[in-house]
Amino acid sequence: MDARGAVAVFLSRWLFSPLGPYVNLLAGAMRHGWLRFTLWAMAGEAVWCGLYVTMGRAFAGILSQASDMLGSVLGLVATGAIAAGLGAWLLVLVRQARTGAFHHPQ
């Protein structure tokens, strides 16, 4: 944490956000200096906010097209998840039929 703690704090603020709470706990447990921690955390948050603002400005003119594309992508992902789930269920049924463990409801 002494050697790369600042980088970990910085990256956990914008690139690896889900790891943020764990990096916070680790920094506290390792007695990472609060000023150094705060400065690197602020720098990471500035990058995070800057990215959001920049992306918002970049895509503001084509928001309706981006929304349509996102809807299509989400539909594709949902369809793929349903197909994978049904395929897994079918595979279980085929394996049960081969082993004789398949019971017909009566």
104: in domain: no
35: in domain: yes
52: in domain: yes
63: in domain: yes
What is the per-residue burial (b if ≥16 Cβ within 10 Å, else e) of 77-102? eeeeeeeeeeeeeeeeeeeeeeeeee
Give the range of the structural domain holding residue 16, as residue numbers without chain letter. Answer: 5-99
Q: What's the pLDDT score for residue 59?
A: 80
Please, what is the angle between helix 5-14 and helix 20-29, to 10°? 160
And the tokens for 11? 């990256």
Q: What's the pLDDT score for residue 58?
A: 84
Per residue, what are the HEC states of 53-93? Answer: HHHHHHHHHHHHHHHHHHHHHHHHHHHHHHHHHHHHHHHHH
Number of structural domains found in the chain: 1
106: in domain: no
From the list 51, 31, 32, the residue with the least C-alpha distance to 7 is 32
Instruction: pLDDT tens for the chain, 106 residues: list them.
Output: 778 889 999 999 999 989 999 999 999 999 989 999 999 999 999 999 999 999 888 888 887 787 888 888 888 999 999 999 999 999 999 998 888 765 666 6
User: Taking the model in full, what pTM does it have?
Assistant: 0.56
